[in-house]
Structure 1
Amino acid sequence: MSVLTLRLAGPLQAWGASARFARRTTESAPTKSGVIGMLAAARGLDRGDDTGLARLAALRFAVRIDQPGTRVRDFQTAHHADTGKPMPLSERYYLADAVFVAAVEGADELLDEIDAALNRPAHAPYLGRRSCPPAHPVRLSLHRTAHLTQALANEPWQAAAWYRRQRRRDATVSLTVLREARPDEADADLLRDQPLSFAAEHRRHALRPVLTTTVQVLNPSAKTAPATRAVPAHDPFAALEEEST
């Protein structure tokens, strides 16, 4: 088994698990559906290729929140091209200045294929919506003989330098991890973002269990304590004792 880690960072991200009419929300962290969709696009899979999607969707998924970002709201207007009549006002939410480390766990052969596709993607990756391009290449590392939590604990903190400096007094930081639960793990939350089909005529998602944990990582911006200078010994009565002898 191997784990492939991805750095998801950009000016804006949007990871919707549900949408109602003209209101498009975003989760506080990348969804499995969104990340698997990005990997499928990198490999050049058609939207209706449910068999190829099932192979990717079987990967176990986790995401580490390195920099939570800020939720912002955008109003969008549009008009019908033929009549010019206005369409309903669209309300869309995004995450601004957020940084995440996502991880997928699976067989070595499949992850090697995905790794190669990310180096030369068939379609450009985006962070949940096509209007949200990544600021950097998303491929981070390929960990051999590792599991999700171990791989996320080994990855350096990916937050921006200005954000890390806010924690410069801490040598290590505790980062939240949203990890796909195993069948034998209880007390998991359920999120409907397990992709079953991306076909336009029948997009389908199932529930998947998610556990919230933490990992400790080093803070590269930690402020080291200044070296202490030795205080010289001083006895105010030493001179008097020398005169009396």
Structure 2
Amino acid sequence: MSYLIFRLYGPMAAWGQAAIGGVRHSELRPTKSAIIGLVAAALGYKRDDSVNMQKLASSLMFAVKTINQGELLRDFHTTQVPSSNKKGPIKTRKDELTGKNHALNTILSIRDYRSDGLWIVALWLTKEPEISLETIQTAFLKPKFSLSLGRKSCPLALPVTPMIIKDKTLKEALDYKFSPLSMFSYFEDRVFKKNNLVTYAWEGERSLLLADGSQLEKVQTISRWDDPIDKLRWQFKKRAEHVLYLED
């Protein structure tokens, strides 16, 4: 099996959960929807490009290794929005706030972030893919749109460093060590890794194979509503995710 692996690190990340009222919680690790959006941004797909977005979602399988889930950072968020205007499209934020007969309203919300989290992501292709891992790798090296960690206010702090790993198991791909001479390797060992416990989460086959062909036990299977159907309408479907906690 071939895998495209890359790393995600930033001072803030937000992996959205189902929104309830004005509270926006964050998952402890990237959601599939967030990763599909990240790949789409690198390729230059816009949010309303439902055809290409759906092709991505149906072509890619996803796994993530959490080295450090980050600390919880909670922001009390205020936003000014005008009353609803159905007379026509609004081109800019300035037009939205300064238009005639637009009464401004204040929306209060709570937004959660993960601070200083570090994740390794692996992607692989379904049986009938409409894109190649090499295409995604090239896009990550020269992304068309700016990449972020769940929200635009959460930029990357390190390059994603995409690499294609061939003829390895999924666990071997997620455990791949980047260059020991890199600054990332230094920080991974001394800063990000606060304990020896790491989390593996993946979809597809429930077993997580080792290099010798043996299987790891004590795998937990959960349901997550993060498989995108329509990103523009925020519609998602349920998928099964397998989770394993190990000492590294």
The bucket for the TM-score relative to the shorter chain is: 0.7 to 0.9
Please show how residues 1-245 of structure 1 align to structure 2 within 5 Å. Answer: 1-58=1-58, 59-80=60-81, 81-82=97-98, 85-106=104-125, 110-155=132-177, 160-163=188-191, 173-182=196-205, 188-199=221-232, 202-214=233-245, 217=248
TM-score (norm 2): 0.75
CA contact (8 A) 2:220 2:244 kept: no
Q: Give 1:182 deviation, angstroms.
A: 2.7
Give the Cα–Cα distance (whole angstroms) in 1 for the partners of residues 241 and 10 of structure 2: 25
Give the Cα–Cα distance (whole angstroms) in 2 for the partners of residues 188 and 79 of structure 1: 41
Structure 1 residues 84 and 11, CA gap change in structure 2 (3 angstroms): farther
Give the Cα–Cα distance (whole angstroms) in 2 for the partners of residues 130 and 195 of structure 1: 19
* Residue 222 (structure 1) aligns with: none
Give the Cα–Cα distance (whole angstroms) in 2 for the partners of residues 44 and 215 of structure 1: 37
User: 1:89-117: per-residue Cα shift (whole Å, max 9, x none)?
Assistant: 12100001111111111279610000011
Q: Which runs of 5+ in 2 are unaligned?
A: 82-96, 179-183, 209-218
Stretches (4+) displaced over 6 A: 183-186
TM-score (norm 1): 0.76
Give the SS at the match of 1:73. strand
Q: Give 1:166 deviation, angstroms.
A: 5.3
CA contact (8 A) 2:206 2:242 kept: no
Give the SS at the match of 1:13. coil
Structure 1 residues 165 and 114, CA gap change in structure 2 (3 angstroms): closer
How many residues are aligned here? 210
Give the Cα–Cα distance (whole angstroms) in 2 for the partners of residues 49 and 214 of structure 1: 37
Structure 1 residues 166 and 214, CA gap change in structure 2 (3 angstroms): closer
Identity over aligned residues, as a percent? Answer: 30
Query: 1:210 is aligned with what amino acid?
Result: E
CA contact (8 A) 1:66 1:100 kept: yes
Structure 1 residues 164 and 188, CA gap change in structure 2 (3 angstroms): closer
Give the Cα–Cα distance (whole angstroms) in 2 for the partners of residues 139 and 17 of structure 1: 27
Structure 1 residues 86 and 55, CA gap change in structure 2 (3 angstroms): closer
Structure 1 residues 88 and 174, CA gap change in structure 2 (3 angstroms): closer
Give the SS at the match of 1:103. strand
Q: CA RMSD in A?
A: 2.7
Give the Cα–Cα distance (whole angstroms) in 1 for the partners of residues 151 and 5 of structure 2: 20
Query: 2:113 is aligned with what amino acid?
Result: Y
